[in-house]
Amino acid sequence: MALFLTEQDVLDLLPMERALERIEWTFREQHRGEAVNRSRERIFLPHSSLHYMAAALPAEDLLGMKIYTVTREALRFLVLLYHATTGALLAILEADQLGRIRTGAASGVATKYLARADSERVGLIGAGRQAETQLAAIALVSPLKGVKVYSREEARRGEFCQRMSARLRLEVAPAHSAEEAARFGDIVVTATTASQPVLHGDWLRPGTHVNAIGANMLSRRELDSSVLGRASLIAVDTLEQAREEAGDLVQGLEAIRDGWQGVVELHEVVAGRRRRTSSDEITLFKSSGIALWDVAVAGYVYRQAVRAGRGREFKVWGEP
């Protein structure tokens, strides 16, 4: 029988430390050519949209798909996890929290390999759905001493800073502008739904690493062209998906040295084939979010649920 796992099951069974391990492993599987990823597809209707993406991890005998709907009222995420050999449905997971955790973990991996080892300060632009897990992951891979956060809503910004200060046990303070947050950070994170740039290249100090995670449609953009022009190393999760939906890169392509030839997949960095070469370089990870990450962390949550007796069993396809 399959398991149904709730958002609370995911939160209880997927600590960020394990998510970081799982996501770093997916990059290694990508580099070995032992992972299969299919880019996101979208269906748009007047009042809603459907989004779906799939992947396979043969090393763990897993196949899976994330599928979600977006309306004005809600975003509803599910992951369907299958046994690759038998085709059996292993689990259906509610996947809002799962998505936030895996996206944060991917930025954590990028920060581990691309940021300067002495990076101590984060400038965060955005205090919404994804911002919390971005900070949680980065705090596990960098010796942070301070964070400044900017978002347009002052009340949300203040509440976010209080909550994350307590969680991370370091000073998370509000910034009065995106520029203030960016100039503060050795690591700068953009986690917004902006359609126009919220980060400008002339705000970045030499040696800064940027994680841009908010814009995953061609019509959206968080980074201006000077960010791309100043970055000496630009990495993405997959080039295929970046070409289809990384609005930051598509709209700013002329500013990137050598165009798409100047963009690498992050697995090359994790494998050691590309790296930061000086303390003054500006580096960038442009994340779109890929199905490999969903399948990898869903597989971990499923195994932990089986061991702990978590989840609700249900029958499908006439199972006895």
**What is the chain's alpha carbon radius of gyration, rounded to the nearest angstrom?**
19
Point out which residues pair with 41 in neighbouring strands.
52
Point out which residues pair with 236 in neighbouring strands.
265, 286
Q: Which helix (H) or strand (E) holds 147?
A: strand 146-150
4: its two tokens = 């149904």
- With a CB cutoff of 8 Å and minimum separation 6, the contacts of 282 are 204, 206, 207, 208, 209, 210, 227, 230, 231, 232
255: its two tokens = 């500013």
223: its two tokens = 């980074």
Q: Is 66 assigned a catalytic role?
A: yes
Q: Are 2 and 314 in contact (CB under 8 A)?
A: yes
| Secondary structure (3-state) at 133 | helix
Looking at 66, 112, 148, 286, which residue is catalytic?
A: 66
Point out which residues pair with 314 in neighbouring strands.
2
Tell me the C-alpha distance between 231 and 296, whole Å.
30
Point out which residues pair with 218 in neighbouring strands.
none
Give me the active site residues, please. Answer: 66
